[in-house]
Amino acid sequence: MDTATHFAMGFGLAGLAYLDPVVATTPGLAEAVMIGTVIGSQAPDLDGLVRVRGTAAYIRNHRGVSHSVPAVFLWTGALFALIQGFMPQTSWLHLLGWIFLAVCLHVFVDLFNSYGTKGLYPFRDKWVALNAIFIFDPFIFAAHLVGFMLWAAGLEPGRLFLWIYVIIAVYYYWRCQAQKRTTELVRSRIGKSGTYTIIPTISWTQWTFVAKTEHHWYVGEVHSGDVVVLDTFAIKPENEVIKAAAKSSKVQSFLSFTHHVHVETAKRPFGYEVKWIDLRYRSRFHGKSHYMFVAVVYLDYELQIRDEFVGWIHRGEEQLTKKMDPNRQLG
């Protein structure tokens, strides 16, 4: 989920904590729990600091090991020690438990969007993305805002947020079922066996999809049950140019994150351009399909890498051209 929603959930858990009679009646504990749940709801995303090492490092690590099973315990322990050092609590086990719940909830809800996490690592070293909830969901955020206003108006926060989270849990179930129904709808429309990935949007009635069959990729949208195929790509075997470009560390970071990848090659005056595009992130630019998340390598005719790029391109090929230099010689 987005940062704002994680913050809202942190405060929501602080309200829910009033169901715990020890939290509700122990002076200072409710405040310590609020600090713990708010920071704990953000802690796994501190891996975003790896961005200073470059986009490739960020792609490889963001929502990776920082969202794993061992990391949940490490974040909880570190945050508990920090708070206990500044605000010592005799009922420390309750503080520890609510911090742990906040960190776990962060990782859990991140599993439901299209970006996903490595939330099952080390038991499963793959990204898990359940594709049921958009990264910012207005219903979930609005439910928290309503809860905060009712809390400020004087309602008892424990029972209030218990009901809010029951409603949100039902909402998650409904969205998962809607995603399954949409998957079967697209599968029926394409009419071929393969892997179908249905991706939520901010609208309840609109989805995007990427389907991989034996010979083709299909990219499209679903509007209120109407399936539209927008782009079709033939799946071609790797050649020596692609294999040479795939040695790029930036490309390897890109491929470690996504499996919805189509690769294209083009001959250029300096040699070859090889581009990998993540088919999940399609937009329109000047009336044409544009895929925003890419990895690109320039090779000379001896198949030596001259330049490489990985990241987001929002303004078309002109933006990419400004970032790439075919005359650059990598060390």
pLDDT tens digits for 275-288? Answer: 999 999 998 766 67
| Among 202, 206, 200, 223, residue whose Cα is nearest residue 137 | 202
Q: Which residues 6+ apart lie within 8 Å of 216 measured at CB?
A: 232, 233, 234, 235
| Residue 150 pLDDT | 98
Our separate counts of H helices and E strands in the chain read: 11, 10
Q: Hey, is 315 helix, strand or coil?
A: coil
The CA distance from 183 to 207, in Å, is: 10
The CA distance from 190 to 183, in Å, is: 11
Which regions in the chain score pLDDT beneath 50? none
Q: Is residue 131 exposed (0-12), middle (13-18) or buried (19+ Cβ within 10 Å)?
A: buried
For residue 91, how many other CB atoms are within 10 A of its CB? 16
Kindly report, residue by residue over 123-141, the tens digit of the pLDDT.
888 888 899 999 999 999 9
Q: Which residues 6+ apart lie within 8 Å of 108 measured at CB?
A: 119
The CA distance from 233 to 293, in Å, is: 17
| Residue 56 pLDDT | 73
Question: Apex CA 170: angle with CA 226 and CA 10, to 5°?
Answer: 115
Task: Answer whether 98's CB lies under 8 Å from 13's CB.
Answer: yes
Q: Are strands 293-299 and 305-312 parallel, antiparallel or unpaired?
A: antiparallel
| Among 33, 150, 145, 47, residue whose Cα is nearest residue 98 | 33
Question: Apex CA 137: angle with CA 202 and CA 186, to 5°?
Answer: 45
Average pLDDT, the chain: 91
Could you say which DSSP state residue 96 is in?
H
Could you say which DSSP state residue 298 is in?
E
The CA distance from 190 to 149, in Å, is: 47
155's tokens = 């309602």
| Residue 300 pLDDT | 92
The CA distance from 3 to 41, in Å, is: 9
| Residue 52 pLDDT | 72
The CA distance from 231 to 187, in Å, is: 16
Q: Are strands 282-285 and 288-291 parallel, antiparallel or unpaired?
A: antiparallel
The CA distance from 226 to 211, in Å, is: 16
Task: Answer whether 213's CB lies under 8 Å from 232's CB.
Answer: no
Full strand arrangement of the beta sheet holding 226-234: 195-200, 206-212, 216-223, 226-234
Cα 275 to Cα 17, 177, 266: the distances in Å are 50, 35, 9
| Residue 286 pLDDT | 62
The CA distance from 83 to 155, in Å, is: 28
